[in-house]
Structure 1
Amino acid sequence: MFQNKLLYRRQFILGNRFINEFDGWQKLKVSKNLYLTVHSDLEMESCKKGSKSLTLLGYIIDPANPSYDNKEIITRIINKSNSFNDIMSLVYPYSGRWVLIYNDGLETKILHDPCGTRQVYYTFKENNMWCASQPSLLSEVFNNQRSTNQDLLEYINSETFFKNERQFYGDGTIYADIKQLLPNHYLDINSGQVNRYWVDFEKENDLDYIVRLSAELLQGSLKAIINRYNVMMPVTSGWDSRLLLASSKDFKNDIHYYVSNMNILSPKHRDIDIPLKLSKKLNFNFKVVNDLKPLSKEISMLIEKNVTLGRNYLPKSLTIQYHLENNQNKVNIGGNASGIVKLVYGSNHPKDIDGEYLAKLMGLSSYPFIVRTLNDWVKEIEPEVLESGLNIPDLFYWEQRMGNWGAMYQAEQDIAVEEFLPFNNRKLLMLLAKADEEYRSAPDYLLYEKIISDFWPEVLSEPFNPETLDERMKNTIKRIVPINLKRFIKRVIKV
């Protein structure tokens, strides 16, 4: 029996029987052949309408109706739906971190929040499809064998993989027979098939309209999460956290603002100095978390065990431990997912993009596993996806970067706190993507600046991500040195 409350905290497993090895876990029969075993700290709700049922794992937020709870939201969804296709459209305006399991007696289908931050992994065992929150949890039950693919092993055993915070790509895993459900895809339990879906109801590209509606969605999301939970919000010198800070003006007395120095940032670092100055100017409570304790052996082991490829060597792991000891009753509000619409990889790309091009963007074109995986991913992108205003690199950031690396830190934090990403809202992402690229581009991010001005213009009084002298020199070199020369220099250095 596993008795440690932190083991696989906020996780779940779904299959053709209950898992009895975990003490204190919740149990729910989804259908005559499907059984959920859920950690006691993961929220769960289920509702029915005739032969249909809808089960929620995690929490779901309605920005338009901030007072609604999980039960009210999923009840409204199922009452308005006649099919799973309806479900995919009805969840369009919702935020949160969730998995939904739909069953109508004939079919069972699973989808998750827009960025897949409540992850779903699946495998075929005991003549049935099994799903879980982590490959390591499935392997705990079934002793799955690790992949022997040499290209995969070359990549995950490389120093590059370690330095890149174990960023994985594709829908595979380190296990030969376990796959991941990526964002913008749903899983059909009966057939074992994964299908891409795409919902985009935004037609208006007027900037003022986008700014107004985006502001309403952000403010509604913050109001909803504050209605339910005790919350905290990190503030740095970056655009994402500054926009969320501005959005929170009306609720600033209900939020615990902070930044962690992770024992590596000096008091003069821009992510410490600038939010501290803002807090004094704008009169909001703000704490610099410093002098963090070394990571304990127990927490280090649990991060590694709870999350496949879990990173217990990162400075931010110390912040997770701090939250475990001080903030377990709080939900952390983060700015992740904003990068989907911020043209992180720029806008000047060739017409025909393949896996090798994307691998080069990430500096990983020397790894056959990466090139092949991204080639396969590009081939399954449907034309209507690119009509939304997103380019392939944007979608790459959404599905590959957020679906893997972005969701990974959320999973690691589950040992300590839940996280809420206001940008993890399909309606908001589609709306922002309609703005012209000039308003979504670095370094000025004029779209974000305009939203901030409408909310709390004084938030703009401090600079955004000001460069140090060393960074200015490096960035100048990047701009003036031709890309072919950069690649040549990298190859020489590598040799």
Structure 2
Amino acid sequence: MTHKQFTFRTTKPEQKQNCSIVTIHNYYLQFSNDLNYTFSEYKGNSIHLLGNLFDYIRTNASNQELLDTLANQQSKEDFFKMLNTFYGEYVLIHATQESLIVLNDCCAQREVYYTEDYKDLASELHFISSTWEHPKNHAYYNSKLYDQKKLFIGTTTPDPSINHLSPNHYLDLLNKKTVRFFPFSKITPQSIDDVAKKAALMLKGYIKAIANRHPIILPVTGGFDSRLLFLASLPTECDYFVFQHDNMNESHYDIQIAKKLTHLFNKKLHVIEDGATDITSNKNNSFKTDYQEFIPGKVIINGNISEVARNFFNYIEPVSGIKLAVLNGFSTNNFVTNQYDQWLTKNQRLFETFGYNMLDMFYWEEKMSNWAARSKTENSKEGLEVMSPFNSRTLLELLLSTKRKDRDKYTSKLYQKIIENLATNHKTINGIPTNPDFERKKALFLKKIGLFQFYDEILLKARIMKRKI
């Protein structure tokens, strides 16, 4: 079994080297010993944690202390309410005499695959299916598009008998069904001032909690997410770096902005050169000595998942399966379109009733679980530990409680407010631009003349017209 992986099945596995086995009901949990495992039990409730939990308030709390808090909750509603406040990448197995459920973190960054009969679960598809590399499922999984992207669609996988657990759902193993547990209450609209104050507090707390257990490093770039995390990390011991790829010279805005930000706050910046554009690809020793000395043994803090609250798919209305497919880069495949239509049919009324935007939730439940999660899994297998403090349901819900027009990905008033809260007494930071690339400049110009949404819709229609049937 490779780094930080697990299986959970009804058949007893062979004991493997450097692995442990725990029995839960009639299931056997086997996990590699480098995957953090924590157990808590209280009045018939037992909870098994694979991975980590962090609290933005109790930043010194351990996995054991946080899990004990969860085990002490008196009802399922209280359990989820408490769990939602934590950040982490994890799988939880909650067992009582009458129930056995499995769920993962806010954006399903710790992956779970499961068979249709709910008897076999694992962190990697190949632990269950020996044939998935030669797909039996729909033509998409036998297409050049899949070969290029290597991304699963919705809950499907290349093996039609195996599913991928989506965010905001749990597996009810005894009743053999998948259950949505979020959202089930109406989101309360809030002002960007109130949200910014709370979000700044939460980000600082999550980063502090991570740093209390691990040495942390943070990439500094020209983006919004990077800036928020950089500012939130300032009260904590943290090292900073920027990658200078082959296609970047010293004048590249990422390099220049990183230097200005770190200089403004008297922080040392490590500029790491490499010979590849993919930071997860270390197999060919393409990274220079700086990388080998600086990265290993440390947790990388990144801004993935923040995009859920940044209108990544803009303002397309009405939403349809084909539009979602094109927006997500799968314009040539009917299977993808049909899957997204099914997702809409199942969820649109629920999300709209509770005040959530379909494009925001699509990014959360589709993009994050089938793109960011894959990246996290591959990073982990390469020995890279990447943590994303935005992976908190309470934090995302808080950010999504503001008006969409105030959290645009190009001109986010909300993120500017969070920056103001984090950069107290450093107003000069406002003079350092954010992502001054061509796409942002074009978007700002179109917004200024009132044609951004019109241009966006025309562009999408043109992409749909070119779609291969």
TM norm structure 1:
0.83
- Correspondence 1:368-407 to 2 at 5 A: 368-381=334-347, 383-407=349-373
- Which residue of structure 1 lines up, in the alignment, with residue 257 of structure 2? 274
Distance 1:262 1:451, change over 3 A: same
Give the secondary structure class of the aligned counterpart of 1:316.
coil
| C-alpha deviation, 1:486, in angstroms | 7.0
- Which residue of structure 2 lines up, in the alignment, with residue 466 of structure 1? 436
- Correspondence 1:181-330 to 2 at 5 A: 181-199=165-183, 203=188, 205-251=190-236, 254-292=237-275, 315-318=278-281, 327-330=295-298
AA of the residue aligned to 1:245: F
**19, 22, 30: which one aligns with 1:28:** 22
| C-alpha deviation, 1:489, in angstroms | 7.8
Q: Tell me, yes or no, if the aligned pair for 1:262 and 1:319 is still in contact at 8 Å.
A: no
| C-alpha deviation, 1:144, in angstroms | 5.9
Alpha-carbon distance in structure 2 between the residues aligned to 1:443 and 1:99? 34
Q: Once structures 1 and 2 are overlaid, which stretch shifts more, 449-458 or 14-23?
A: 14-23
| C-alpha deviation, 1:81, in angstroms | 3.0
Q: Is 1:76–2:46 an aligned residue pair?
A: no
AA of the residue aligned to 2:271: V
- Which residue of structure 1 lines up, in the alignment, with residue 7 of structure 2? 13
Distance 1:204 1:471, change over 3 A: closer
Alpha-carbon distance in structure 2 between the residues aligned to 1:181 and 1:285? 41
| C-alpha deviation, 1:365, in angstroms | 3.8
| C-alpha deviation, 1:442, in angstroms | 3.4
Deviations 1:26-67 (A, max 9, x none): 222223x11111112110101112322100000001111111
Q: Tell me, yes or no, if the aligned pair for 2:132 and 2:158 is still in contact at 8 Å.
A: no
- Which residue of structure 2 lines up, in the alignment, with residue 45 of structure 1? 38
Q: Once structures 1 and 2 are overlaid, which stretch shifts more, 235-244 or 261-270?
A: 261-270
| C-alpha deviation, 1:374, in angstroms | 0.5
AA of the residue aligned to 1:112: N
Alpha-carbon distance in structure 1 between the residues aligned to 2:363 and 2:459? 26
Give the secondary structure class of the aligned counterpart of 1:221.
helix
Give the secondary structure class of the aligned counterpart of 2:72.
helix
Alpha-carbon distance in structure 1 between the residues aligned to 2:428 and 2:12? 54
Alpha-carbon distance in structure 2 between the residues aligned to 1:494 and 1:371? 12
Q: Tell me, yes or no, if the aligned pair for 2:241 and 2:272 is still in contact at 8 Å.
A: yes
Q: For this pair of structures, how many residues does the alignment match?
A: 454
Give the secondary structure class of the aligned counterpart of 1:38.
strand
| C-alpha deviation, 1:343, in angstroms | 0.9
- Which residue of structure 2 lines up, in the alignment, with residue 425 of structure 1? 392
TM norm structure 2:
0.88
Distance 1:358 1:494, change over 3 A: closer
Give the secondary structure class of the aligned counterpart of 1:37.
strand
Alpha-carbon distance in structure 1 between the residues aligned to 2:333 and 2:179? 27
| C-alpha deviation, 1:379, in angstroms | 1.5
- Which residue of structure 2 lines up, in the alignment, with residue 103 of structure 1? 95
Distance 1:482 1:458, change over 3 A: closer
Distance 1:345 1:492, change over 3 A: closer
Q: Tell me, yes or no, if the aligned pair for 2:19 and 2:31 is still in contact at 8 Å.
A: yes
Distance 1:146 1:379, change over 3 A: farther
Distance 1:26 1:259, change over 3 A: farther
- Which residue of structure 2 lines up, in the alignment, with residue 343 of structure 1? 311
Alpha-carbon distance in structure 2 between the residues aligned to 1:349 and 1:371? 16
The gaps in structure 1 that reach 5 residues or longer are 1-6, 295-313
**150, 159, 177: which one aligns with 1:175:** 159
- Which residue of structure 2 lines up, in the alignment, with residue 413 of structure 1? 379
Q: Is 1:112–2:104 an aligned residue pair?
A: yes
Alpha-carbon distance in structure 2 between the residues aligned to 1:112 and 1:70? 15
Q: Once structures 1 and 2 are overlaid, which stretch shifts more, 398-407 or 193-202?
A: 193-202
Alpha-carbon distance in structure 1 between the residues aligned to 2:457 and 2:311? 19
Distance 1:319 1:395, change over 3 A: farther
| C-alpha deviation, 1:375, in angstroms | 0.9
Q: Tell me, yes or no, if the aligned pair for 2:331 and 2:468 is still in contact at 8 Å.
A: no
Deviations 1:366-396 (A, max 9, x none): 3111111101111111644335543111111
Give the secondary structure class of the aligned counterpart of 2:242.
strand
| C-alpha deviation, 1:494, in angstroms | 8.2
Alpha-carbon distance in structure 2 between the residues aligned to 1:278 and 1:214? 21
Q: Once structures 1 and 2 are overlaid, which stretch shifts more, 409-418 or 10-19?
A: 10-19
- Which residue of structure 1 lines up, in the alignment, with residue 81 of structure 2? 89
Alpha-carbon distance in structure 2 between the residues aligned to 1:490 and 1:265? 33
- Which residue of structure 1 lines up, in the alignment, with residue 407 of structure 2? 440
Superposition RMSD in Å: 2.9
Give the secondary structure class of the aligned counterpart of 1:240.
helix
Alpha-carbon distance in structure 1 between the residues aligned to 2:54 and 2:195? 21
- Which residue of structure 2 lines up, in the alignment, with residue 136 of structure 1? 126
| C-alpha deviation, 1:208, in angstroms | 2.2
The gaps in structure 2 that reach 5 residues or longer are none
Distance 1:219 1:472, change over 3 A: closer
Alpha-carbon distance in structure 1 between the residues aligned to 2:292 and 2:181? 37
Alpha-carbon distance in structure 2 between the residues aligned to 1:330 and 1:121? 28
Distance 1:67 1:484, change over 3 A: closer
Distance 1:341 1:483, change over 3 A: closer
Q: Tell me, yes or no, if the aligned pair for 1:145 and 1:176 is still in contact at 8 Å.
A: no
